Amino acid sequence: MNFLATFALGGFNPSAAAVGFVSIVLFAVVGAIAGPNLSKFDVEDNS
């Protein structure tokens, strides 16, 4: 996993990689839930 350390200062940090991965998964879950319901969030079109 040291090949991932080329873009980050201080080398590869497994806890930072885990936090990044969890945030991407959380973003995908929220997007999957909110995506089909985006029209319900439109304040101007409440008819």
Q: What integer pLDDT is reported at residue 41 of this predicted model? A: 72
| pLDDT tens readout for residues 6-41 | 555 666 778 888 888 999 999 999 988 888 777 777
- Token pair, residue 8, equals 């980050």
Q: Flag whether pLDDT at 4 surpasses 60.
A: no
Q: From the DSSP assignment, how many helices (H) and strands (E) are in the chain? A: 1, 0
Q: What is the pTM of this model?
A: 0.55
Q: What integer pLDDT is reported at residue 22 of this predicted model? A: 94
The residues spanned by each domain of the chain are 7-36
Q: What integer pLDDT is reported at residue 45 of this predicted model? A: 61
Q: What integer pLDDT is reported at residue 25 of this predicted model? A: 95
